[in-house]
């Protein structure tokens, strides 16, 4: 890769957690396992992340989780005692009241499922499994491996059974289903609306009880299997597929619950260990709990033989793993760039799957024939450009016409949409430069440059009364203050529009001094990094540390309000109420922001393989890379209060720049950051700044 200069642009009672060392102790992967530190209850209370403790597997469309009453977006509320049963999919951390919640299973006592109440008295969970005990002596546990899972129920003696509702779905988003009963098994498909009800997905499934107990229909979509009165256990296998019920059946695991749980935990540990941190155990718990959240989606939709369904519902086949279940508008900023580093083997398939959307029917939200639950795909073009520049294969020529069609149909009506759309136009210009089509590259460059007229119209004058009001002038989620910075591809041009560096810095200082930054949502997520384009990069180092690990003041929330009173405290906490009120994790976007910041580098502009530096939150972090390589980040003069960079060394040589590249990371080696407790201005440091030149 060429060198880029000024280029164009707790649940602490969990059995797993109990094994962890005492507070204040030192964690190292040499002596303990990252998987044992994960708190799956983080962000599962109220509107503080929209996360669940469901049994899951990396990038699996199957997640078996508790359905509580009342519930939140994922079907689960940490504080709730009453359970309705267990469901088999959910999109973690997204808005619109969530989606999924298919195939409700409820163990019950007596003859009538509706009269049997499940009240939680104990709970235990970790990556790959979930267990709960109820006051009526029923105990449930479940584990997931790949797209297959296992339920195990323990009962007291007496009349009992298992209830199945095939029409269950969050927010009433059930559409239709067909099923077949064959003794102890049920199989078929379910159609449901996607997140925000924008589209529709079909999931195929196979479910069977072990033993001779049979399912009997009680209504069009409900079945019951009565168990023998003296039976004390019941086990059930289940699997999901995007291809067919037969494919789901073929992938059902025959292994025991303990074997499934153990293998899932081991696989989670392997992935979590791609980043090995060394430092305070409590900080490591938070780190790995958030890293765990970055690998829930997108979902593998391929079968072992390579078959999958496209977004047109058509059956396809490919040697490469295919994925679906996108929240790109949210996680293109952080989660996908993180996966490009820590899961390169999987990311190649994700990139191919995103590119394939342009062949099989891509909409901003979802089609009517999705192969899995999904959310939205705006800025997919930026992700593809970013991936290409990181060395991933993208056949732009094959999809160029579709990219042109998408960009030509972008909306510029509202101030925020004008800036968002200009980002995609810039990406298309860069893609045509890659394709050596100078005419089209120039055309879309000029189209992207039109952001300046929109910026002058709505974002230059900050003396108007509505500049700090949510949804002013038709903004979707955010304020004029928060959106005025959204020109990541041309910060040099933005500084000029703002009247030069001094004026630009004055506005940035005012933005943070007045607590106008909103970490509950993404529109201004990159702003703490934007001091790096100036002579005052230390202020970026300060704010990245403060937002990730210190006490901050927040006034804006994700419900398009400034709230009642300020939030004062730490945003990232290892508790069920982990995040700001109304702050969604957005499919790993906010978790990945923390992982990057804790690691000491963050994406400067998605579309360029460049990362701005800050002081890491650990003494040492080591990224495991392909072919046995490692990229180690170590902090000299480490102290949690040392927020500033004094100097940087890459493989023993002084690094006179405020950024590293993907090539620096992929080459492996050691990045040493010397920390300071006071701001340091290095006049000989090269600042990366995005630009059209």
Query: What does 96-164 look like in DSSP terms, one character per residue?
Result: TT--B--SEEEEEESS-GGG--EEEEEEEEETTEEEEEETTS-EEEEEEETTEEEEEEE--SSSEEEEE
What pLDDT, on the 0 to 100 scale, is given for residue 24? 64
What pLDDT, on the 0 to 100 scale, is given for residue 17? 35
Per-residue pLDDT averaged across 89-118, rounded?
96
What pLDDT, on the 0 to 100 scale, is given for residue 364? 86
Both tokens assigned to 489: 């591809």
Per-residue pLDDT averaged across 235-241, rounded?
98
- As to burial, measured by CB atoms within 10 angstroms (0-12 exposed, 13-18 middle, 19+ buried), residue 5 is exposed
Whether residue 14 has pLDDT greater than 90: no
What pLDDT, on the 0 to 100 scale, is given for residue 294? 98
Phi, psi torsion values for 174, nearest 5 degrees: -65, 140
Query: Which of 393, 397, 401, 556 is closest to 479 using CA atoms?
Result: 556
Per-residue pLDDT averaged across 461-475, rounded?
96
Q: What does pLDDT average to over the chain? A: 95
Both tokens assigned to 655: 């690094």
Whether residue 301 has pLDDT greater than 60: yes
Q: What is the pLDDT of residues 343-396, one digit of tens each?
A: 999 999 999 999 999 988 788 889 999 999 999 999 999 999 999 999 999 999
Whether residue 13 has pLDDT greater than 60: no
Task: Map 640-678 to HEC letters.
Answer: CCCCEEEEEEECCEECCECEEEHHHHHCCEEEEEEEECC
Whether residue 16 has pLDDT greater than 60: no
Per-residue pLDDT averaged across 583-589, rounded?
95
Phi, psi torsion values for 453, nearest 5 degrees: -70, -35
What pLDDT, on the 0 to 100 scale, is given for residue 19? 35
Whether residue 46 has pLDDT greater than 80: yes
Q: What is the pLDDT of residues 519-535, one digit of tens each?
A: 999 899 999 999 999 99
What pLDDT, on the 0 to 100 scale, is given for residue 616? 98
- As to burial, measured by CB atoms within 10 angstroms (0-12 exposed, 13-18 middle, 19+ buried), residue 263 is middle
Beta-carbon contacts of residue 127 (< 8 Å; ≥ 6 apart)? 16, 35, 38, 40, 56, 264, 265, 268, 269, 272, 292
pLDDT: which is higher, 6 or 518? 518
Sole residue written with tokens 């909103």: 518
Proportion of the chain above pLDDT 90, given as a percent:
92
- With a threshold of 0.85, does the pTM exceed it? yes
Sole residue written with tokens 């006034």: 555
Q: How many other CB atoms sit within 10 Å of the CB of residue 500? A: 11
Per-residue pLDDT averaged across 418-436, rounded?
98
What pLDDT, on the 0 to 100 scale, is given for residue 360? 84
What pLDDT, on the 0 to 100 scale, is given for residue 18? 32
Q: What is the pLDDT of residues 245-260, one digit of tens each?
A: 999 999 999 999 999 9
Domains of the chain (ranges plus CATH)?
A: 35-272 (2.70.98.10), 275-676 (3.30.2080.10)
C-alpha to C-alpha distances, 342 to 123, 157, 394, 511, 628, nearest whole angstrom: 31, 49, 19, 33, 13
Cα 614 to chain centroid distance, Å, stands at: 22
């Amino acid at each position: 890769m060429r060198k880029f200069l000024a280029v164009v642009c707790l649940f602490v009672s969990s059995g797993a957690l109990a094994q962890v060392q005492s507070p204040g102790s030192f964690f190292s992967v040499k002596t303990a396992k990252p998987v044992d530190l994960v708190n799956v209850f983080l962000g599962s209370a109220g509107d503080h992340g929209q996360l669940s403790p469901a049994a899951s597997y990396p990038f699996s469309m199957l997640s078996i989780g508790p359905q509580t009453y009342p519930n939140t977006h994922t079907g689960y509320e940490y504080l709730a005692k009453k359970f309705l049963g267990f469901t088999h999919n959910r999109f973690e951390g997204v808005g619109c009241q969530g989606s999924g919640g298919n195939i409700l299973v409820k163990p019950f006592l007596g003859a009538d499922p509706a009269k049997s109440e499940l009240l939680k008295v104990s709970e235990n969970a970790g990556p790959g499994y979930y267990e709960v005990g109820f006051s009526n002596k029923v105990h449930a546990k479940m584990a997931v491996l790949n797209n297959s899972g296992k339920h195990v129920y323990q009962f007291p003696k007496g009349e009992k059974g298992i209830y199945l509702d095939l029409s269950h779905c969050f927010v009433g988003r059930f559409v239709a289903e067909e099923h077949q009963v064959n003794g102890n098994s049920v199989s078929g498909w379910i159609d449901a609306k996607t997140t925000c009800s924008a589209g529709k997905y079909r999931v195929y499934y196979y479910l069977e009880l072990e033993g001779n107990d049979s399912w009997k229909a009680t209504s069009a979509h409900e079945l019951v299997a009565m168990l023998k009165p003296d039976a004390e256990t019941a086990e059930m296998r289940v699997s999901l597929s995007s291809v067919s019920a037969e494919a789901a059946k073929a992938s059902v695991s025959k292994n025991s619950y303990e074997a499934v749980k153990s293998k899932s935990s081991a696989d989670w540990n392997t992935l979590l260990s791609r980043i090995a941190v060394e430092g305070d155990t409590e900080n490591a718990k938070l780190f790995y709990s958030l890293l765990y959240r970055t690998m829930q989606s997108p979902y593998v939709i391929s079968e072992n033989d390579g078959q999958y369904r496209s977004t047109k519902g058509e059956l396809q086949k490919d040697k490469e793993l295919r994925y679906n279940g996108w929240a790109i508008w949210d996680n293109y900023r952080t989660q996908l760039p993180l996966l490009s580093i820590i899961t390169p083997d999987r990311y190649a398939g994700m990139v191919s799957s995103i590119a394939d959307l342009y062949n099989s029917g891509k909409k901003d939200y979802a089609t009517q024939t999705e192969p899995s639950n999904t959310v939205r795909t705006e800025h997919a073009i930026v992700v593809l450009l970013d991936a290409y520049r990181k060395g991933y294969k993208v056949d732009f020529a094959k999809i160029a016409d579709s990219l042109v069609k998408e960009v030509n149909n972008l909306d510029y009506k509202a101030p925020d949409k004008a800036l968002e759309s200009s980002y995609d136009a810039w990406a298309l210009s860069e893609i045509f430069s890659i394709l050596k089509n100078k005419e089209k590259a120039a055309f879309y460059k000029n189209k992207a440059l039109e952001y300046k007229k929109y910026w002058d119209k709505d974002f230059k004058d900050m003396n108007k009364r509505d500049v700090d009001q949510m949804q002013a002038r038709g903004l979707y989620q955010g304020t004029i203050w928060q959106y005025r910075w959204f020109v990541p591809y041309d910060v040099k041009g933005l500084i000029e529009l703002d009247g030069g560096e001094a004026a630009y810095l004055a506005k940035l200082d005012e933005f943070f001094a007045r607590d106008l930054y909103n970490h509950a949502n993404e529109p201004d997520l990159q702003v703490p990094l934007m001091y790096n384009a100036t002579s005052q990069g230390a202020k970026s180092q300060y704010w990245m540390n403060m937002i990730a690990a210190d006490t901050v003041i927040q006034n804006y929330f994700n419900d398009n309000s400034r709230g009642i009173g300020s939030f004062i405290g730490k945003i990232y906490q290892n508790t069920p109420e982990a995040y700001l009120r109304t702050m969604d994790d957005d499919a790993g976007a906010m978790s990945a922001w923390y992982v990057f910041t804790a690691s000491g580098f963050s994406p400067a502009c998605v579309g360029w393989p460049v990362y701005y530096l800050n002081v890491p939150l650990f003494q040492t972090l080591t990224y495991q890379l392909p072919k046995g390589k490692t990229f180690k980040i170590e902090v000299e003069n480490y102290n949690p209060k040392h927020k500033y960079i004094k100097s940087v060394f890459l493989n023993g040589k002084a690094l006179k720049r405020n950024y590293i590249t993907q090539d620096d990371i992929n080459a492996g080696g050691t990045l040493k950051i010397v920390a300071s407790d006071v701001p340091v201005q290095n006049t000989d440091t090269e600042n990366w700044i995005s630009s059209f030149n």
